[in-house]
Amino acid sequence: MKQLPVLFSAALVSLVALYPVQSLAVKASDYGLPDFTKLVEETNLSVVNISTIKKVTSRKDLPQFRGMPEELLRHFFGLPQLPGEPRSTPREEPREEAHSLGSGFVISEDGYILTNHHVIDGADEIIVRMRDRSELIAEVVGTDARTDVALLKIDADDLPYAKIGRSDNLKVGQWVLAIGEPFGLDFTATHGIISALGRSLPDDTYVPFIQSDVPINPGNSGGPLLNLAGEVIGINSQIYSKTGGYMGLSFSIPIDIAMNVVAQLKDNGKVVRGYLGVQIQEVTSDLAKSFGLSKPQGALVGETYPNTAAKKAGIEAGDIILEFDGKKIKKSSDLPPIVGVTPINKKVKVKVLRNGKEKIFRVRLNALDQAEQIAESAPENSGLKNNRLGAKVKNLDKDDLETLGLPFGVIITEVQSGGAAQKAGLRKGDIVVTIDFKPIKNAKELVKVVKRLPEGRSLPVRVVRNKRSLFLPLVLD
């Protein structure tokens, strides 16, 4: 057994002698894996480093007294007057510079550059460093905080620029490449696959993010996400992290969304979005059953706001939007990005499900910046108990309803533990407007409606809660 390593080594030497070393090398492509070397060579010249300088003020007071007026500090704690400084004139605070790093990429040979809004937000000076390490000062053409996209311009010609691809034909599982400046490390390439599409993140209503497992870290923000054809299909924007570093979840802005923003910033210097004027919620499995749907789909309208496109078109609370401008709405988060990129004043078709039947409405959108979202809070009043519902309710007077902007409704003052109301998710303070699409005008009307409702079937209840209208699935035992 001890001789086996010697015999194996001799055989290996003989094999190497017979075949050149390069013939033994195995390429990743031989196993169906992508070779990123050529892709990086062809695309890295368009990627830039972006550093910003922000002037900040700094006080030289003792830390425990920072933020207190200097005159008070001198009076109570005996701080000395600075030489030559008038007693009535506050001391000038020195200026310091705060630096931040990010990435970007050139999209035209005449010097237009795409990056994230948060990379350059609040900057007094933006410095772009090219692949050849030359540095240029950039001007902001425009930014859009809602999509986290910023368009910059540098004074240069004949620049290598990125090929812009499409993000509407992406598939989960396809290979992608990112190039950027993580932690300031120049032109770092990382790769992975697309993990999911159309991700909706908190406070990012208008961006259906591309989720990938490409390692992205601070400094990658604003850099390109590329497909195997070398085309930009996204802008790297966010990560999910409990540590501040990469944890396997990266999110990129689809390039179709970004280029729509670019076109508007070039033409108008700002972005104008469509506004439908509805408050929506997800259609859960229970709600789908209560609305007669075979599966959860669409965006459920909880409320339509006054003087908006939805209200004028006739869309009502309880409608489920299934299609908007020919695009299917599979979940509620699909709707805002589609509405946002729809041109203002364009008449579009909206397919909704109402009382189990599909209807078509024609809507002409308002501009988001001009829209008014109206929702009022609910006060309490006086009442009645309904044991089958498992809740105490009180009537609302005319003034209360006018304040709320509601034609009718009753307010819940107590929810019975283990009752149907609690199981449905109803809470104290909720204003019940309809049950199974039947109007609840007062407490007596509620008793009549609830008494006639069938048992064991999921029924939609519309309530107003914390300035928002929503539907809950109610099942009566």
Q: How far apart are CA 73 and CA 365, in angstroms?
A: 57
pLDDT of the residue at 32: 66
Q: In this structure, are residues 381 and 394 in contact, taking their beta carbons and an 8 Å threshold?
A: yes
pLDDT of the residue at 350: 95
Beta-ladder partners of 442:
none
Active site residues: 118, 148, 221
The two structure tokens encoding residue 396: 């609302």
Residues 6+ apart with CB under 8 A from 296: 282, 283, 284, 285, 287, 288, 331
381 burial level (CB within 10 Å; 0-12, 13-18, 19+): middle
pLDDT of the residue at 202: 67
Sign of torsion over alpha carbons 416, 421, 425, 430:
negative
pLDDT of the residue at 442: 86
Interior angle at CA 258, CA 141 and CA 134, nearest 5 = 55
Beta-ladder partners of 419:
none
Residues 6+ apart with CB under 8 A from 10: none
Q: How far apart are CA 298 and CA 331, in angstroms?
A: 5
Closest CA to 460 of 441, 434, 439, 440: 434
pLDDT of the residue at 209: 93
The two structure tokens encoding residue 471: 């539907």
Sign of torsion over alpha carbons 423, 425, 426, 429:
positive
Q: How many residues does the chain have?
A: 477
Q: How far apart are CA 335 and CA 330, in angstroms?
A: 9
Residue 257: how many other CB atoms lie within 10 Å: 24
Q: How far apart are CA 69 and CA 86, in angstroms?
A: 15
Task: List per-residue pLDDT tens for the chain, 477 residues long.
Answer: 334 444 444 444 444 444 444 444 445 555 567 889 999 988 989 999 999 988 765 544 444 444 444 443 343 334 444 445 555 444 445 555 657 789 999 999 999 999 999 999 988 899 999 988 899 999 999 999 889 999 999 999 999 999 999 998 999 999 999 999 888 888 899 999 999 998 887 666 788 999 999 998 888 999 999 999 999 999 999 888 777 778 888 999 999 999 999 999 998 888 888 889 888 888 988 888 888 888 999 999 988 888 889 999 999 989 999 999 999 999 888 898 899 888 888 889 999 999 888 999 999 988 876 543 333 333 333 333 446 888 888 888 777 787 777 888 899 988 887 788 888 899 988 999 999 888 898 888 888 888 888 888 888 999 988 768 888 998 887
pLDDT of the residue at 64: 43
All structural domains of the chain, each given as residue ranges with its CATH number in brackets, are 30-80+93-271 (2.40.10.120), 274-370 (2.30.42.10), 382-475 (2.30.42.10)
pLDDT of the residue at 28: 53
